[in-house]
């Protein structure tokens, strides 16, 4: 298993009618590597991420993530992955702490100390209602939720979008 790539795609295709979101992607990312997608809007970056996490299904091809088939073993896979969507949207009525504790409980429990540690590193006030947070602070909340359960693999879609320079540095 040590030689198994963290991510592997073979001929991955996603079509939307006559339009192609991804056209035959072959990709291999190994444990310990940092890999980034670069490209203009509409080039398939987010589509690829969503396929890897079984949020959408491919038209053709196959993928494995941490040696698992996302389409057959999605639940086991998502337990091992930290994911931050490019459009992290949550209910604004609750506080940051309430949201993170709820999400942590869905994962089987995340120690409050871990949540506090990450929030402190990012300078995030967890006592404020989400609707009162700036875009940058909502993004920090998303970063904390992706990291808080100590995942084996992080899949982050524009993780520094909206962050100030200090926040960008801390995420990196």
pLDDT single digits (tens) 132-151 = 999 999 999 999 999 999 99
Q: What percent of the chain has pLDDT over 70?
A: 99
For the record, the structure tokens of 161 come out as 């979008």
The Cα 148–Cα 132 span in angstroms is 22
Specify burial of residue 13 (Cβ count, 10 A radius: 0-12, 13-18, 19+). middle
63 by Cβ neighbours in 10 Å (0-12 / 13-18 / 19+) ranks as buried
Vertex 30, ends 24 and 35: CA angle to 5°? 70
**Does 91 score more than 90 pLDDT?**
no
Judge whether residue 1 has pLDDT over 60: no
| Per-residue confidence (pLDDT) for residue 2, from 0 to 100 | 60
N- to C-terminal Cα distance for the chain?
A: 28
Residue 158 and residue 135: Cα distance in Å, rounded? 13
How does pLDDT run across 16-75, given as a tens digit for each residue?
Answer: 888 878 899 999 999 989 999 888 888 889 999 999 999 999 999 999 999 999 999 998
pLDDT averaged over the chain?
92
Mean pLDDT for the stretch of residues 68-97: 91
User: In b/e form, how buried is each residue of 151-164, taking b as 16+ CB within 10 angstroms?
Assistant: bebebbbebbbbbe
Average pLDDT over residues 91-97: 92
Rounded Cα gap, residues 24 and 36, in angstroms: 18
Query: What pLDDT score does 49 carry?
Result: 93
């Amino acid at each position: 298993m040590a030689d198994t790539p963290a991510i592997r795609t073979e001929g991955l295709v996603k079509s939307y009618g006559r339009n192609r979101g991804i056209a035959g992607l072959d990709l291999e990312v190994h444990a310990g590597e940092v890999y980034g997608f670069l490209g203009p809007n509409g080039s398939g970056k987010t589509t690829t991420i969503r396929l890897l996490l079984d949020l959408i299904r491919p038209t053709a091809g196959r993928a494995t993530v941490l040696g698992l088939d996302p389409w057959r073993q999605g639940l086991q896979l998502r337990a091992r992955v930290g994911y931050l969507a490019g459009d992290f949207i949550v209910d604004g009525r609750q506080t940051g702490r309430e949201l993170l504790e709820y999400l942590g409980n869905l994962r089987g429990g995340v120690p409050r100390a871990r949540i506090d540690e990450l929030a402190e590193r990012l300078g995030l006030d967890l006592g404020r209602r989400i609707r009162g947070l700036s875009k940058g602070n909502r993004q920090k909340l998303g970063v904390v939720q992706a990291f808080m359960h100590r995942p084996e693999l992080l899949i982050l879609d524009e993780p520094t979008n909206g962050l100030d320079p200090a926040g960008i540095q801390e995420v990196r």
